[in-house]
Structure 1
Amino acid sequence: MNKNKSIHKGNGLLPFPVIVSASLGDPLAMDIVLSHYEPYIARLSMRTVYDDYGNPHTRVDDDMRRRLETKLIEKVLDFKVA
């Protein structure tokens, strides 16, 4: 998680060169993009499950997390930088 803090200059935005590189298919840049959005994707993927005794537990739905990551990768690769 410290990787995110070293990339950002305090404004919470991805640097433009990283976006351009990721859209061109650079795997390292794509990893930076995925790391940047990891907390948001995890939050969107939270699901409540119930144990054998009926107690609710909130956890990350791994299938949903992978779907969201895949969709993000697709959209980044489709992104056109003019």
Structure 2
Amino acid sequence: MQYRKKKEQIAFEVIEAAIGGDAVAINQIIDYFQPYINSRCRRKFIDESGRTRYGIDEYMKRRMETKLITKILGFQIQL
């Protein structure tokens, strides 16, 4: 049985800064979600010799990161 290493959650202050447009905070959030994004962007490719390989679809990865940034900047915290 494999055990996943649990990541520490993102601090609320970092989330607030990211919503405010802080580039460093946004990059911290993107880094946090990078394993998930990579797992969703994994695709099957066939190389020149006809062998099947798996890799990251960079176009899809950039689209997902852009979508995440858009959602972060549009997020509103309701107290």
TM-score range, shorter chain: 0.7 to 0.9
1:63 aligns with 2:43: no
TM-score, normalised by the number of residues in structure 1: 0.82
* Structure 1 vs Structure 2 CA RMSD: 1.3
Question: Corresponding residue for 1:12?
Answer: 8
CA distance in 2, matches of 1:50, 1:11: 34
Q: CA deviation at 1:11?
A: 5.7
Name the structure with the higher helix share.
1
TM-score, normalised by the number of residues in structure 2: 0.85
Structure 1: which 5+ residue stretches go unaligned? 1-9
Runs of 4+ in 1 over 2 A off after TM superposition: none
Name the % identity: 34
Count of equivalent residues: 73
SS for the counterpart of 2:36 is: helix
